[in-house]
Amino acid sequence: MPVNILAKEGKESSPLQNSVSLASESRRVVLPKKDGGLRAWLQVLGAFCLSFATWGIVNSFGVYQTYYQNELLSSYTALQISWIGSIQAFLLLFVGVLTGPLFDQGYLNSMLLIGSFLTILGIMTTSVSTTYWQLMLAQGICVGIGIGTLFVPSIAVVSTYFTTRRAIATGLAFAGSSIGGIIYPITFRGCQSIGSGWATRIIGFISLALLCTAIATMWTQLPSKPPRSLYQLSAFKSGPYALASLGMAFGFAGLYIPMFYIQIYALSTESTSSDSYDFYLLAILNAGSFFGRVIPNFLASKIGSLTMLVLCAVAAGILSLCWIAIDDVVGLTFFAVIYGFFAGAYVSLTPPVLVGMTPDLSMAGTYLGMSMFLAACGLLLGNPIAGSLVNIEEKRFIGAQAFTGGLILTSAGLLAAALVIRARERKSWKV
């Protein structure tokens, strides 16, 4: 007999139950009870590939920031160059506001095809671009819209196939972004001998293979819904959801600053003895984030996704402040690994936290999209503001480093407030 999960204050159903039914305004949407299975894990594979080809690109922008700063766009400031990556990251999340409801209406396949086309077009156009505005249009806007069309639907699909193992499945799917953040910078650096243009084109071919895999494996099990507003502002009447969404805006504003500037910091302060090693720092940071996207998500299934998110936000904020005192290769390597771990955990825990606050899973895309819009605003502003606080000539990064720590710790405070309210509502700290 179906069990209405809304009747028990959002508690997760057991994987032994026959089915889960979700109440909606016009009908009941029945989802299969099975917490996993071949079809479900194929969605994780597809989402892994999408995450590799979307967030992996964003996580790799630091290698382009350094290349543009030192060579192709050397006449431009760090602030100006960072706008390319920030707009790309902003569009990744902002387009989620549009794709969330479209996903709910059953347009998953169309979004996968359109998003893949725009992503590959943007990457290939970037490979032949030589001016600031060409790169802004190709790498910032075209790639940004493409990866934005792909991101939220992939996470929403995975979330609807799992109940008790949702955080683990999402963590594995998000791990693709870490692998992309490792492979793409190494590919760009390793292929410099044949030119940066061909290095970027090779990245495009890798992305094409991944996106084809995602298109072949992903599909939604939710029936389509009629068109409705892109927003459901009544969602923000929920204190935990509103606080968590605002907290994520501050968090995303700060999280990516080290990814954009750690290589430039190492080169400017001569923290390492090799230029080659400086370029691998970003890959090392993303390697740390791989484990952060898997291990904390496993623990989250034991203590709760929101509880784990708060702990990771506190750790990432403290580490960002510790970055101020680090000026040697051993310290930077340690920082890259540990910070990457907690930053990766933060990013991968946000979808299960938000989906867990969604009263009707058929609205998961919209709830994710609204929160991602706020996070997008943070991403758009955080890195350029940090760039304005950096003075490469005088080797001064302390303003950007303190700014990073302050943003992430503010996020931790807001998330902690959401945790307290949510725990009181559910009479349990496992939230």
123, exposed or middle or buried, with CB in 10 Å at 0-12, 13-18, 19+? buried
Residue 421, pLDDT score: 92
Is pLDDT of 162 > 80? no
The mean pLDDT of 351-363, rounded to a whole number, is 80
Of the chain, the percentage scoring pLDDT greater than 70 comes to: 86
**pTM, two decimal places:** 0.81
Q: Is residue 26 part of a domain?
A: no
Within 13 A of 16's CA, how many CA atoms are on the CB side?
Answer: 0
Which residues have CB under 8 Å from 384's CB, separation 6+?
79, 82, 83, 86
Higher pLDDT, 21 or 56: 56
Closest CA to 135 of 195, 92, 182, 197: 197
CATH number at residue 267: 1.20.1250.20
Indicate the pLDDT class of residue 189, thresholds 50, 70 and 90: confident
Domain count, the chain: 1
As a whole number, the mean pLDDT across the chain is 83
> What pLDDT does residue 274 have?
58
Q: Which amino acid is at 88?
A: Q
Q: Give the pLDDT band (50/70/90) at residue 10.
A: very low
pLDDT (average), residues 94-107: 78
Task: Check residues 21 and 298 and name the one with the higher pLDDT.
Answer: 298
Question: Domain for residue 21, yes or no?
Answer: no
pLDDT tens digits, 248-299: 999 999 999 999 888 888 887 765 555 567 678 888 998 998 898 888 878 8
pLDDT of residue 30: 45
DSSP for 82-143?
A: HHHHHHHHHHHHHHHHHHHHHHHTT-HHHHHHHHHHHHHHHHHHHTT--SHHHHIIIIIIIH
Examine residue 1 and state whether it is found in any structural domain, yes or no.
no
Instruction: Give 239 or 419, the one with higher predicted confidence.
Output: 419
130-167: b or e for each residue (b if 16 or more CB lie within 10 Å)? eebeebbbbbbbbbbbbbbbbbbbbbbbbbbbbbebbb
Could you give the strand order of the β-sheet that contains 28-32, starting from the edge strand earlier in sequence? 3-4, 19-23, 28-32
**Residue 9 burial (CB count, 10 A):** 11
Does 361 or 252 have the greater pLDDT score?
252
Q: What's the pLDDT score for residue 346? A: 94
Proportion of the chain above pLDDT 90, given as a percent: 42
Chain position carrying tokens 């802004």: 136
Mean pLDDT of 123-150: 95
Q: Per-residue confidence at 146, pLDDT binned at 50, 70, 90?
A: very high
List the one residue out of 139, 159, 142 whose CA is nearest residue 47: 159
**Alpha-carbon gap, residue 124 to 145, rounded angstroms:** 15
| Burial bucket for residue 325 (CB in 10 Å: 0-12, 13-18, 19+) | exposed
**Predicted pLDDT at 29:** 44
Please tell me the distance from the alpha carbon of residue 374 to that of residue 99, in angstroms, as a whole number.
15
Range of the domain at 256: 34-426
28-42, 143-157, 372-386: least confident range: 28-42
pLDDT of residue 26: 37
Neighbours of 417 (CB within 10 A): 17
Confidence (pLDDT) at 293: 81
Residues 68-99: pLDDT tens digits?
988 889 888 888 999 999 999 999 888 877 77
Span 224-243, average pLDDT: 78
Query: How confident is residue 356, by pLDDT bands cut at 50, 70 and 90?
Result: confident
Q: What is the mean pLDDT of residues 389-397?
A: 82
Over the stretch 234-251, which tens digit does the pLDDT of each residue have?
A: 888 888 999 999 999 999
Residue 424 has pLDDT above 50, yes or no: yes
Greater model confidence, 84 or 27:
84
pLDDT score for 193: 81
Residue 185 predicted with pLDDT over 50: yes
pLDDT at 8 over 80: no
**pLDDT, position 229:** 61
Those residues whose C-beta lies under 8 Å from the C-beta of residue 409, and which sit 6 or more positions away, are: 313, 314, 317, 318
Give the whole-angstrom CA distance, residue 429 versus residue 299: 14
HSE-up (13 A, CA, CB side) for residue 188: 27
Better-predicted residue by pLDDT, 34 or 59: 59
> Which of 3-7, 31-35, 49-53, 94-98 has the highest mean predicted lDDT (pLDDT)?
49-53
pLDDT of residue 223: 64
Domain-located, residue 14: no
Is 9 contained in some domain? no
Q: Tell me, yes or no, whether 211 lies in a domain.
A: yes
DSSP 335-368: HHHHHHHHHHHHHHHHHHHHHHT-SSGGGHHHHH
When pLDDT is cut at 50, 70 and 90, the band that residue 35 belongs to is low
